Amino acid sequence: MFAFVSKTVNFREFLDEFALALQMPVVDNRIKLPEHFGKGYFAVEELPNGLLVLIIDYYLNTYLQFDRPHVEEEYYSLRFETVRSTKEMTTRIDDDAFTEHYDERSVVYLTCSLFDLGYSATAGTYTRALSIQLPREWLAKFLRMETYDSILEEYLSLKTAALLLEPIQASYKVILDELKSLDFEHPAMRTIAHNRIMELIELFFTNLYDKRNELGHRSKASAQDINNVRKVETIITTDFTQPCPGIDELSKVASMSATKLKRLFKEVYDKPIYQYYQHYRMLKAKGLLKSGNYSVKKVAIMLGYENTSNFTIAFKKVFGILPGKLVKG
């Protein structure tokens, strides 16, 4: 078992504390994890605008208990997290605990330094996360806080219940995929990363504002049903070289009727299943084209189109332009 209590909400200070506890050096703002703890790393990056970003990617070889008591200074942390575990993980905010048993979950959520925070996870758990530290003063400049104050208050009052509110949807996934594939040797890497992370922040707070009337709404679906719907989302967005599975096949994966699956999927992801699949497919295409590394024909093939013309029509229907307009050079 590895137990760690952090006394700070500042990501740089956290990295130093964690390195000391692990008895590992911090090299280029990164810790390589020792074998007794797991495999992977923790890293901190500073964006050109001064925001700190914590990036973690690790597999646990031991039971982990993490706690961070609240502090008086008001900070927010926007966390995009994917966890795979055959056992369980518990998240605690103040005295409110939420335990999940799942194969995989991908969520985005906001926490505040004014609350106690804790995590526990068993050996064999894999976690990949990107956390963006948002000081109150920065948010006041970025947002019209007189508009968001009451929304944030209601959101945070839900504590761990808020973890179910925002799955990592297609629009987030495309940006996170781009960040994951960045060439850190590229001279413009930090600028590109800054722009993408700002997109993530904008998307989250736009969605939060748009859903402000739904914050008190709790789905009547069980945690297992929600987890099964997430499995379906993973299946339809993992391999675009294969057609989207039919609703009968997906309902078997989800262990529920087709009618129930269609209703719950739209409730969780805001779109019907095939519409969501096609939306993510086109967002993925846009990202690949903008990278400048692929031709229109190559992207069409990568996304399962045998006919480039059909891909061109589908792309223009979503974005209003021909895909060739995004190819660099």
Give me the number of domains the chain comprises. Answer: 2
The CATH number for 175's domain is 2.60.120.10
pLDDT of residue 127: 93
**CA pair distance 316, 298, nearest whole angstrom:** 17
For residues 199 and 74, membership in a common domain is answered with yes
For residues 199 and 238, membership in a common domain is answered with no
pLDDT tens-digit series, residues 247-271: 999 999 999 999 999 998 988 888 8
The full DSSP string for 47-68 is -TTS-EEEEEEEEESS-EEEEE
CA 118 to chain centre: 19
The last residue of a domain, from among 214, 246, 263: 214
Q: Which residue has the higher pLDDT, 274 or 93?
A: 274
pLDDT of residue 93: 84
Q: How crowded is residue 159: how many other Cβ atoms within 10 Å of its Cβ?
A: 19
For residues 138 and 255, membership in a common domain is answered with no
Of 291, 320, 292, 295, the C-alpha closest to 305 is 295
Give the chain's radius of gyration (CA, Å): 21
Diameter of the chain by CA atoms? 59
Residue 9's domain comprises: 2-214
Of 79, 72, 104, the C-alpha closest to 89 is 104
Instruction: For residue 218, name the pLDDT band (cuts at 50, 70, 90).
Output: low
| Torsion-angle region of 40 (φ positive above 0: left; ψ -120 to 50: alpha; else: beta) | left
What three-state secondary structure class fits 7? Answer: coil
Residue 25's identity, in one-letter code, is P
pLDDT tens-digit series, residues 152-178: 777 776 655 555 457 788 888 888 888
Instruction: For residue 209, name the pLDDT band (cuts at 50, 70, 90).
Output: confident
For residues 203 and 227, membership in a common domain is answered with no
**CA pair distance 262, 276, nearest whole angstrom:** 11
Of all residues in the chain, the percent with pLDDT exceeding 70 is: 89
Sheet holding 2-5, edge to edge: 2-5, 64-68, 117-121, 89-93, 96-100
- Count of CA atoms in the C-beta half-sphere (13 A) of 253: 20
What length is written for the chain? 329
For residues 232 and 319, membership in a common domain is answered with yes
pLDDT of residue 322: 92
For residues 202 and 250, membership in a common domain is answered with no
pLDDT surpassing 70 at residue 305: yes
Q: Which two structure tokens, joined as six digits, stand for 165?
A: 């509110």
Mention every residue, 6+ apart, whose C-beta is less than 8 A from residue 322: 312, 315, 316
Asked which of 57-66, 128-137, 138-147, 307-316 is least confident by mean pLDDT, the reply is 138-147
Alpha carbon separation from 253 to 127, 135, 228, 243, 245 (Å, rounded) = 23, 42, 7, 16, 11
The last residue of a domain, from among 214, 232, 259: 214
pLDDT of residue 291: 79
For residues 296 and 319, membership in a common domain is answered with yes
Instruction: For residue 14, name the pLDDT band (cuts at 50, 70, 90).
Output: very high
pLDDT tens-digit series, residues 20-75: 999 999 999 999 999 999 999 999 998 888 899 999 999 999 999 999 999 888 88
What does DSSP assign to residue 83?
A: E
Q: What is the mean pLDDT of the chain?
A: 85
The CATH number for 265's domain is 1.10.10.60
> 268-284: string of b/e by CB count within 10 Å (b at 16+)?
bbbbebeebbbbbbbbb
pLDDT surpassing 80 at residue 188: no
pLDDT, average across residues 91-101: 78
pLDDT, average across residues 214-218: 54
According to the per-residue pLDDT averaged within each range, which of 99-113, 171-185, 262-276 is highest?
A: 262-276
